């Protein structure tokens, strides 16, 4: 009788995985059976806590520091995933920076910071994903529903997310024949530190009420969309999923 080897788990890299939507996505993918590499930029304690929570729940996870805009650091991130778990199947680009201001008064250094993380970071991570993902893999980038809402104060941030959508749609076509899907999730207002920072209660309440569901999204709501695109949604490709509770 021929001895059969049991294939290992699917392996996911989640950038910005130490908190907010990234952490929820990492925990959800682990619950789905993925081994997870939790990428972080600065807060080692939060990243370690995410990995520890996954491990405590019976999953596999390791934390790894890497600036997503640094090609050498991102290459090392993928090296670590391959060395630890044998390959990479899912990449979730949840790392992001948001600074709000009217265009006329926006600080250009803040624009540069968002471009570096949101655009260059997505591009660099996607580049490694395009080179290394195994057949059957999935790339999930992060856009924002603010592109359609066109809210004042969001011009710089929305510009970076427009670039992410362009990269997403083009990469999906460039990976023809590889059995790899490339999609983006575009959250609406979601109760994370990134969204809540600097907003007063009235603003938060108004934005929560904009959805027909009359609430803010939760990180777990967005993680559910990530889980769908990472696993069962093999016929969804080159799309932007607007996970926003019905805001138009």
Round to whole Å and give the CA distance between 222 and 216: 11
Length of the chain: 248
Least Cα distance to 66 among 44, 97, 39 occurs for 39
Two tokens, residue 124: 């660099």
Asked if 243 and 214 count as a contact pair (C-beta separation under 8 A), the reply is no
For strands 35-40 and 11-15, give the pairing.
Answer: parallel
Options 40, 85, 154, 157, the catalytic residue? 157
Asked if 178 and 135 count as a contact pair (C-beta separation under 8 A), the reply is yes
- H or E segment and range at residue 15: strand 11-15
Is 157 part of the annotated catalytic residue set? Answer: yes
Phi and psi torsions of 182, nearest 5° = -135, 115
How deeply is 106 buried, as exposed, middle or buried, from its count of CB atoms within 10 A (0-12, 13-18, 19+)?
A: middle
Secondary structure class of 202 (helix, strand, coil)? helix
Residues marked as catalytic? 157
């Amino acid at each position: 009788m021929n001895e059969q080897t049991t294939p290992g788990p699917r392996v996911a890299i989640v950038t910005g995985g130490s908190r907010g939507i990234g952490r929820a996505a990492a925990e959800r993918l682990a619950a789905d059976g993925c081994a997870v590499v939790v990428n972080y930029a600065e807060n080692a304690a939060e990243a370690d806590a995410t990995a520890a929570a996954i491990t405590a729940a019976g999953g596999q996870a390791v934390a790894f520091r890497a600036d997503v805009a640094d090609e050498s650091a991102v290459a090392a991130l993928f090296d670590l995933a391959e060395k630890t778990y044998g390959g990479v199947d899912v990449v979730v680009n949840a790392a992001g920076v948001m600074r709000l201001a009217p265009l006329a008064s926006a600080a250009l250094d803040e624009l540069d910071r968002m471009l570096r993380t949101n655009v260059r970071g997505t591009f660099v991570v996607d580049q490694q994903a395009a080179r290394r993902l195994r057949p059957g893999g999935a790339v999930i980038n992060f856009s924002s529903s603010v592109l359609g809402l066109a809210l004042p104060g969001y011009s710089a941030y929305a510009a970076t997310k427009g670039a992410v959508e362009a990269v997403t749609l083009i990469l999906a076509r460039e990976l023809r024949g590889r059995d790899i899907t490339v999609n983006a999730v575009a959250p609406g207002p979601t109760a994370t530190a990134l969204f809540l920072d600097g907003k007063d209660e009235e603003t938060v309440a108004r934005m929560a009420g904009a959805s027909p569901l009359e609430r803010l999204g939760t990180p777990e709501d967005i993680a559910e969309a990530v889980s769908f695109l990472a696993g069962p949604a093999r016929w969804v490709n080159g799309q932007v999923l607007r996970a926003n509770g019905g805001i138009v």
